[in-house]
Amino acid sequence: MKRDVAITINGERHEATVDHRLLLVDFIRENAALTGTHQGCGYEGRCGMCTIIVDGVAVKSCLMLAVQADGCQVLTIEGLARGDTLHPLQHAFWEKHGLQCGFCTPGMLMTAYEYLKDPDPSEEAIREGLKGVLCRCTGYVGIVDAVKQAIATLEAMPAAERAKWFPL
């Protein structure tokens, strides 16, 4: 069975006729050709690498159908930077060496994006928030440090500037 969908990804509308079983992660990677969203566990919802933001909420895109996202606003890793300027979260991952192979990084960033809205999370809360994303390189110390730095950077900004880094 097929259905028409229109999904706005990083501000760009993508229309397609899709099989009703098509997963959102595959819509993003194949229909929208945005391959920064990774698939790392055979679509079983265990690795978190496919995490994206849908209408402001972090979701594992292998556990959502494309038809369920019809009419939604989606943010993927490609939508974080503003032109050549990295999102403070991306910059912090770079500065704090929050990645090794980088395969988990899009999922880490998009998961952390949701938690950055908390102005002062404890280290325990950051670790709890990220526990749904597996890093096979076990680079967690750098990842937690990067999230903490990103929170501090964003908190030091005027509210209007800070808000620009949260399009969804």
Q: Which of 10, 31, 39, 76 binds ligand FES (CB under 6 A)?
A: 39
Contacts of 97 (CB under 8 A, 6+ apart): 139, 142
Task: Determine if 60 is a binding residue for ligand FES (CB under 6 A).
Answer: yes
Please tell me the distance from the alpha carbon of residue 46 to that of residue 40, in angstroms, as a whole number.
Answer: 8
Q: Which of residues 98-157 bind ligand FES (CB under 6 A)?
A: 99-104, 135-137, 139
Query: Strand 51-54 and strand 12-19: pairing?
Result: unpaired
Residue 41: helix, strand or coil by DSSP? Answer: coil
- Of residues 92 and 135, the one with the C-beta less far from ligand FES: 135
- 59 belongs to the binding site for ligand FES (CB under 6 A): no
Nearest CB to ligand FES, comparing residues 68 and 162: 68
Phi, psi at 32, each rounded to 5°: -95, -10
Binding-site size for ligand FES (CB under 6 A) equals: 22
| Other CB atoms within 10 A of residue 29 CB | 19
Q: Which residue, 102 or 162, is less far from ligand FES as judged by CB?
A: 102
